[in-house]
Amino acid sequence: MTTLAPAARRPLWFIDGLARITLEGDATAGSLDIVEVEARAGDMPPLHVHHEHDETFYVLEGEVSLHLPGRSITLRPGEAFFAPRGVPHVYRVESETARWMAFGTPAGFAEFVREVSDEPDRDGLPPFGRDHDPARLGEAAARHGIELLGPPGSMP
């Protein structure tokens, strides 16, 4: 059995949230990876579709809404939702803050998170409104089979 050392769970500033890679694909023979994410109210990534893996959300704290074509759902602690590959989706943090686990199957999402994240220069969530490089995000997404369909705030 392979486990991830605590040092490998170091925080990363992932877009406007804080991410910790909990389990990587090399520990699961490529079948799964898990990323813990924390973000503040209103956090919403670009509308996107994963072409190579499914994504499951499991909320630990707060409320997160998920939006797919023709369907929206709000998840609270202890609730989960499966977003299958090939289906456009986006999430939005509805509570002051939220924390959830993102499961990628097969593995690959954690590599994307690591590639587009920055090392924090302080504890906690990244500063509100920090600058992002859309080209960096778009190029990394394409390399990991994620198609960005619209800017943050776009709905399916």
CATH number at residue 50: 2.60.120.10
Is the confidence at residue 100, as pLDDT, over 80? yes
pTM: 0.91
Count how many domains the chain has.
1
Which contacts of 70-75 are long-range, i.e. CB under 8 A and separated by 24 or more positions? Answer: 70/156, 75/100
> Is 65 within a domain?
yes
> Is 72 within a domain?
yes
Question: Token pair 């490529």 is at which residue?
Answer: 30
By residue range, what is the domain housing residue 21?
10-118+132-148
pLDDT digits (tens, 9 = 90+) for 132-152: 888 999 999 999 999 999 888
Parallel, antiparallel, or unpaired for β 46-50 and 54-61?
unpaired
> Is 155 within a domain?
no
Q: What is the mean pLDDT of residues 54-82?
A: 97
Q: What does the pLDDT read at residue 134?
A: 87
> Is 126 within a domain?
no
Q: What does the pLDDT read at residue 3?
A: 55
d(CA 46, CA 138): 10
Tokens of residue 105, six digits: 């199957």
